[in-house]
Structure 1
């Protein structure tokens, strides 16, 4: 039986776990408990999230790291294989794969994505990115694509046609010229598994507005958090499309505010992997539109703490209140990262989720 994808469920605020497949998760730190992304720990974290009723697991696609003492994020599991393995070991949670469009052929992606959708019973999802890191693309002997989202539109069109057409077809586009295309089995979800686009600039948001089910984006200040939501709604006005907007936050949840802030300072300031933070920030600032320009100067701690994402630091009550505020800004869901997922997820789930449920944001 095909299951309803969890992102289409009834919870007002969907929650997921972000970047467990990569060394360090999103934290760039030297603390001894830093996430090593072993397979055993990935499996444990996924099953904790699954049992707690979280909606999704979202990996990053990383091919090389950012140096520093720990060569941070150099160790990462490939996301199609990772999702297939977790699909066989979980029951309810959605499983996303993150793909760099210029580096993965659409027919390979179609076959792999359909495989995960069948293994999971219809819980697969695809996070479509075009890439920003020239060092990674250089590993493949590939340049960054100037109009990456034009290529992504062709790429996704091919995947959908491969699932939807009963007979082989030819494709003659700007980026792909294909003959007698066929890909079976098709995905269980129709016309294809749910899609998310991690986009921050105008071209990416236009692509998400036209082609994706969800937009994954960031914000710097809570006061301005509603701007990306308003922007995507403006881009979809008159199209009949409803694109849900998701964001990412890094979390330190403790019994007291002071305990949480002390730990945040310890891992993201005192014991930050400063060389890797510098490399990560420089690359992002030069080649990515993922953050406001001012964020790089004002929020170094956030880049060490969670790749520049918004911090949720405090008690269960204060964190739940901020998550509700994010929901009220129009966000459909939040992807969460922790310094150590297996250590910290149980406390977060036990303490924060009931507060959200009592407030009516989750069941």
Structure 2
């Protein structure tokens, strides 16, 4: 059973552990390097603690600065497949730029991960926002990105459902006698997620995906995202979960957590990388409103502009409960150092969430 379909009312996972720094843009010596052995160790910690998913970020180019932030990142299909063989319960997403990966290849790669993991594969569908990254491939951003994505996903589902080779004549893709074996274990395809902010993107998520992945500046503002996607999904006769991302600093006391947050995200922020990241996002991506760039610079150094969960286990658990009450079904979490910080978070925050009825303490294999 894919944990994204499991009993936990609030699904939890890690985000961006395949890339150096994770989401933080900081120069502190303990910053995440995303060395393979650390990625593997963090994945096993999350798996054994009962977290629900691992969600990687798709990066081809970094943001410069003193740390050359996120220049080092593992490709997500192969990363997920490797971790699938080393874990037993957790869902493993791959984040795929639709224009860069042919759907026939994606179908076979995704099915491979689903078999290796015994049905735990997930697909995060992205169309891209960074023109310089696409320039590395000799390509430009597609003005019809979500129309392409809909066709791309339809091809994958058609390949999985077909008894034999198919011909496909679409606007963007033409396939002749295409077949892929094995097909995914999950039907009609593995769990899908889409990070969409524009109206066309949200319409695509409402029609085709299981989860919308979005950000917010305040929890109250986050409710508007819930209402928006709920309305779009209802018009198609569907329900779509809404996931978000938060960066976490959890320490025994609120004061200790805030002190560390200020140290890594203010005093030791990689300011050049922060500036490049913010300017690129502001120019080409609709992931944050203008107010976020004006008021929340620390959040961009701390976690790419995501919402901060900073405090004691009790404070962090309370904030997560509020996010759940707002209507979010999943939170992807980032840390300055996943391997060092995940154990404390899991040991001290997860039981508090279970007390609130947000997490099932029964092992997933038994609950299924």
Q: What is the TM-score normalised by the length of structure 2?
A: 0.97
Partner of 1:314: 311
- CA distance, structure 1, for counterparts of residue 235 and residue 340 of structure 2: 46
Q: In the alignment, what sits opposite 1:252?
A: 249
Residue of structure 2 equivalent to 1:36: 33
Partner SS, residue 226 of structure 1: helix
> Matched residue of 2:54: which SS?
strand
Does residue 213 (structure 1) correspond to residue 222 (structure 2)? The answer is no
Q: What secondary structure, in the 3-state scheme, does the structure 1 residue paired with 2:349 have?
A: helix
Per-residue deviation, 1:222? 1.7
Distance 1:239 1:186 in 2: 27
How many Å apart are 1:177 and its aligned residue? 1.4
Equivalent in the alignment of 2:296: 299
Contact 2:220 2:326 in 1 (8 A): no
CA deviation after TM superposition for structure 1 residue 204, in Å: 0.9
Where 2:12 maps in the other structure, the secondary structure is: strand
1:153-208 deviations in whole A, cap 9, x for unaligned?
01001111111111211111111111111111100001110100011121111100
1:202-241, CA deviations, whole angstroms, 9 ceiling, x for partnerless residues? 1111100000011110111122121111000110124221
CA distance in 2, matches of 1:125, 1:91: 15
> Which of the residues 181, 191, 196 maps onto 1:194?
191
Aligned twin of 1:266: 263
Choose 280-289 or 236-245, whichever is displaced more: 236-245
Instruction: Give the TM-score, by structure 1 length.
Output: 0.98
**In 1, Cα distance between equivalents of 2:306 and 2:144:** 26
Q: Which runs of structure 2 are paired with 1:50-65 in the superposition (5 Å)?
A: 50-65=47-62
Match of 2:64 in 1: 67
Q: Deviations over 1:249-288 (max 9, x none)?
A: 0000011111111111110011000001000001000000
Cα distance, 1:45 vs structure 2? 0.3
Partner of 1:105: 102
CA–CA distance in 2 between the matches of 1:126 and 1:305?
A: 26
Equivalent residues in 2 for 1:55-204, closer than 5 Å: 55-204=52-201
Which residue is equivalent to 1:359?
Answer: 356
Per-residue CA distance 1:112-133 (angstroms, 9 max, x = gap): 0000000000000000000000
Q: Residues 326-345 of structure 1: matches in 2 within 5 Å?
A: 326-345=323-342
Q: Secondary structure at the match of 2:92?
A: strand
Q: Distance in 1 between matches of 2:48 and 2:289?
A: 36
Which of 272, 287, 298 is equivalent to 1:290? 287
Distance 2:356 2:141 in 1: 45
Q: Superposition RMSD on alpha carbons, in Å? A: 0.7
Aligned to 1:195, the other structure's residue is in SS state strand
Q: Which runs of 5 or more structure 1 residues have no equivalent in the other structure?
A: none
Unaligned runs of 5+ in 2: 361-368
Query: In the alignment, what sits opposite 1:276?
Result: 273
Equivalent residue, structure 1, for 2:232: 235
CA contact (8 A) 2:2 2:120 kept: yes
CA contact (8 A) 2:62 2:69 kept: yes
Which of 14, 19, 24 is equivalent to 1:22? 19
For 1:192 and 1:60, the matched residues in 2 are separated by 21
